[in-house]
């Protein structure tokens, strides 16, 4: 029996948890977190990952880089999923980089006296977010903070 790699263990765990809770991958999302990204890649690119990337360790974008390096050999579904996941991760990173700027007016209005970096800003904002602008609420969602 061949030794199990990190990839085999992670894929098995993801599938088991998904079956246990009845989760299905979402078809459309605003952004995506790293755990959901690897889940989506495992679900839709499992055969390709098994063929081309089974020795690659998880984390640090290594699986996605391996898929990119084997782009010409991937199934159409995996190519599309890889591109989708990349776009969603890039949107999340951009949202996180810009959320304070987009929400600046709302933060000052809803959380006066709370300074970025003191650990209370997100907590204050999430309590008051219904009063925030639609653009700010969307940035918070895209950044993955709720």
Q: Where are the domains of the chain?
A: 1-93, 103-146
Burial environment of residue 136 by CB neighbours within 10 A (0 to 12, 13 to 18, 19 or more) = buried
Q: List, for residues 83-125, the tens digit of each pLDDT value.
A: 999 999 999 999 999 988 999 999 889 988 887 777 788 788 8
Radius of gyration of the CA atoms of the chain, in A: 19
DSSP assignment string, 34-70? HHHHHHHHHHHHHHHHHHHSTTPPSSTTHHHHHHHHT
In the block, tokens 């390096």 appear at 69
82, 67 Cβ separation under 8 angstroms: yes
pLDDT of residue 8: 39
- Global pTM exceeds 0.85: no
pLDDT of residue 27: 29
């Amino acid at each position: 029996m061949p030794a199990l790699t990190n990839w085999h263990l992670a894929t098995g765990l993801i599938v088991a948890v998904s079956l246990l809770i009845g989760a299905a991958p979402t078809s459309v999302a605003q952004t995506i977190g790293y755990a959901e990204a690897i889940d989506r890649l495992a679900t839709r690119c499992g055969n390709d990952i098994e063929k081309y990337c089974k020795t690659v360790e998880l984390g640090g974008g290594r699986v996605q880089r391996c898929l990119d390096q084997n782009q010409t050999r991937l199934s159409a579904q995996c190519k599309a999923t890889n591109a989708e996941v990349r776009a969603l991760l890039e949107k999340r990173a951009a949202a996180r980089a810009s959320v304070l700027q987009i929400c600046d007016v709302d933060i000052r209005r809803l959380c006066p006296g709370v300074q970025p970096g003191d650990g209370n800003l997100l907590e204050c904002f999430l309590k008051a977010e219904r009063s925030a602008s639609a653009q700010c609420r969307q940035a918070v969602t895209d950044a993955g903070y709720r």
